Structure 1
Amino acid sequence: MTQAATTGRKAAPTTHSGRGRPGYGRGDVIRIAVDEFNTRGYEATSMGALATRLGVSKSAIYHHVTSKEEILVEATDRALEALNGVVQEAEELEGTARDRLAVVIGGSTRVLCENPGYVTLLLRLRGNTEVELEIMERRRQVTRKLIDYVREAQEEGVVRPDLDAGLVGRLVFGMINSIVEWYRPDGELTPEAFSEITPSLVFRGLEAK
């Protein structure tokens, strides 16, 4: 798969304050590690390889993080918290199930466009450890909520009742998730503009006649 993170292969040290080696903040280490995980694969990336990428000694990294697992949890938390924020926005919306479904579709698109590297890492997990399994379950909870909104919209008569809600939900998220393969933040469409297009395209195929 094509690496979709926005960070480049060479990282310039910043002057972020915080614990650890001067010149690198914890956020820098997390961001660059995500890029390495998406390029090499999480399992294949060692702390030594990360140190080489950063241009520091291996021991220097441990001033910022204790392990690869800690980086994985913090990075995927960023993506999951953003997605859960979209679900929460839909839950609090005073509108129809179609409105809530549109919020989740559009909001998920925006989250992916704003955090491509972090979402890519989330999507590539294979459940090889207990921590990965827990993260994947949190990801599935978001999918299940989308499926619930599809069912509610079917009951309202605005989404085709002949379609399986579970299939629809997974296909919709499959389409959104594929954006990481080609979207570029410096392209023509902003994340906000993109988030308005996706629901419109989806509903053209889902709406009951």
Structure 2
Amino acid sequence: MPHTDPTAPPARRPRYDLDLLVSVSARVFNERGYDGTSMEDLSRATGLAKSAIYHHTAGKEQLLRLALDRAVVPLFAVAEESLARPERAAGRLRHLVTGQVGLLIDALPYVSLLLRVQGSTETGRWALRQRRAFDRIVADLVAEATAEGDLAPGPDPRLVSRLLSGMVNSIAEWYQSTDDEDLTQARRGELADAVLRMAFEGLRPEARP
């Protein structure tokens, strides 16, 4: 049997604070789905006993809520900042979409979780309500920009809102994050510009003779 040094210090379990626990939980929820994740799965992923996890939180659903807050809170902060800008609705809408792309890149695991979570729990239903509320903000800006003549009339603003959000949210399916901050900033600008070009160039009113 392997020799052990009786004088060696005991192996240490990883020390987790709540911030790291939420981060690891979000990764596991994305990999396994919330409903498919057990406290045992979280225990294995963190290296913590379940009792230690309960020391930090009330359980799995609170971890879900804390992870979702990392997407929802900044998302509505971007919306509030965009709505407060002193410009026409189309400019505020462009600022909102740009911020939405930036948030997705900066908080990819949490935004991915927000997009995937189902309404099987009260927290999941809360998340779905937040997504619908954000869509209404976008739809209202689309309607206002259309009324001001900066977007082509015709499509239902609610449909346009869902198409815009769908275009942005699809980035979560293929975007790969990086630790290179300069590259991340470049990608943020490139992706936001691409979304804005595709969306707004196609939504401009036809030129009149």
Same fold, judged at TM 0.5 (above): yes
Cα distance, 1:200 vs structure 2: 2.4
Aligned alpha-carbon RMSD (Å)? 1.6
**Separation of aligned partners in 2, 1:25 and 1:192:** 33
- Is residue 2:113 matched to residue 1:131? no
Q: Output the TM-score relative to the length of structure 2.
A: 0.85
- Is residue 2:74 matched to residue 1:82? yes
Counterpart of 1:96? 88
Counterpart of 2:5? none
- Is residue 2:142 matched to residue 1:145? no
Counterpart of 1:12? none
> In proportion to residue count, which structure has more helix?
2
Structure 1: 5+ residue runs without aligned partners? 1-20
**Separation of aligned partners in 2, 1:117 and 1:102:** 24
Residue type of the alignment partner of 1:191: R
- Is residue 2:199 matched to residue 1:202? yes
Residue type of the alignment partner of 1:28: L
**Separation of aligned partners in 2, 1:195 and 1:110:** 7
**Separation of aligned partners in 1, 2:106 and 2:196:** 17
In the TM superposition, 1:1-209 aligns within 5 A as: 23-186=15-178, 189-209=186-206
**Separation of aligned partners in 1, 2:59 and 2:48:** 16
1:33–1:50 CA contact under 8 A, matched in 2: yes
> How many correspondences in the alignment?
189
1:90–1:103 CA contact under 8 A, matched in 2: yes
Residue type of the alignment partner of 2:198: L
Provide the identity percentage. Answer: 37
2:149–2:205 CA contact under 8 A, matched in 1: yes
**Separation of aligned partners in 2, 1:72 and 1:57:** 18
Cα distance, 1:126 vs structure 2: 1.7
Larger Rg: 2
Of the structure 1 ranges 116-125 and 131-140, higher mean CA displacement relative to structure 2 is found in 131-140
**Separation of aligned partners in 2, 1:76 and 1:182:** 20
What does the per-residue CA deviation read over 1:11-50, in whole Å, with 9 as the maximum and x for residues that have no partner?
A: xxxxxxxxxx862111111000000000000011011111
SS of residue in 2 equivalent to 1:190: helix
1:185–1:191 CA contact under 8 A, matched in 2: no
**Separation of aligned partners in 2, 1:85 and 1:125:** 21
